[in-house]
């Protein structure tokens, strides 16, 4: 499991690759959203929560959303990956502006984008956490359902999973509390 500071920039992705290549048995990687690159920087998850708050109060969030997208595009471009994030960013922004994205779903996108990039960088399979971490209606993890789904994943190839979230019985994204990527890693 790699936290936010380990996902902060392209150089950190290279360090993760080196760690994984040093032990071929490491085939399941859980990642957090990009963290701070330095003390004056922002954590992506904080920016996503800020975007959500802005839209709920009718305040323009374009500059904040641009900070988020530019960070992931910079990582992608520095790693010379061909992952199409622009389409996903445009769709997310459209849904955000129309207030058709929940706070939990929006907050989870930092981990989601980190995992998409890391999977492409490592040539591992991307596995969306919403496809194997399932919550009960009371917000607790449905361990039986989740573990059964996990056992079907990653046969033969390494996988990268975004931490911090899963799916409710109705398919809505639900996040863990802050630090939830550690819970994903433990599961």
Which helix (H) or strand (E) segment holds residue 174: the answer is: strand 173-175
At residue 152, the pLDDT reads 80
User: What is the mean pLDDT of the segment spanning 17-37?
Assistant: 92
184 close to 176: Cβ distance less than 8 angstroms: yes
| pTM, rounded to two decimals | 0.93
Place of tokens 């509390």: 177
At residue 104, the pLDDT reads 96
Interval 49-89: pLDDT, tens: 999 999 999 999 999 999 999 999 999 999 999 999 999 99
For the cut 80, the answer to whether the pLDDT of residue 131 exceeds it is yes
Mean pLDDT of the chain: 92
């Amino acid at each position: 499991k790699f936290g936010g500071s380990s996902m902060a920039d392209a150089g950190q992705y290279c360090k993760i690759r080196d760690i994984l290549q040093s032990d071929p048995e490491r085939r399941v990687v859980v990642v957090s959203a990009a963290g701070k690159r330095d003390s004056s920087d922002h954590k992506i998850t904080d920016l996503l929560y800020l975007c959500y708050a802005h839209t709920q109060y009718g305040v323009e969030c374009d500059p904040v959303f641009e900070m988020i997208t530019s960070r992931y595009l910079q990582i992608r471009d520095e790693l010379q990956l061909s992952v199409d994030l622009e389409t996903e960013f445009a769709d997310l922004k459209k849904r955000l502006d129309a207030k058709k994205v929940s706070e939990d779903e929006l907050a989870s996108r930092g981990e989601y984008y980190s995992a998409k990039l890391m999977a492409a960088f490592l040539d591992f399979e991307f596995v969306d956490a919403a496809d194997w971490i399932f919550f009960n209606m009371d917000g607790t993890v449905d361990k039986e359902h989740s573990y059964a789904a996990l056992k079907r994943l990653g046969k033969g190839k390494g996988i990268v999973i975004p931490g911090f979230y899963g799916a409710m019985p109705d398919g809505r994204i639900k996040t863990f509390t802050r630090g939830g990527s550690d819970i994903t890693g433990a599961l």
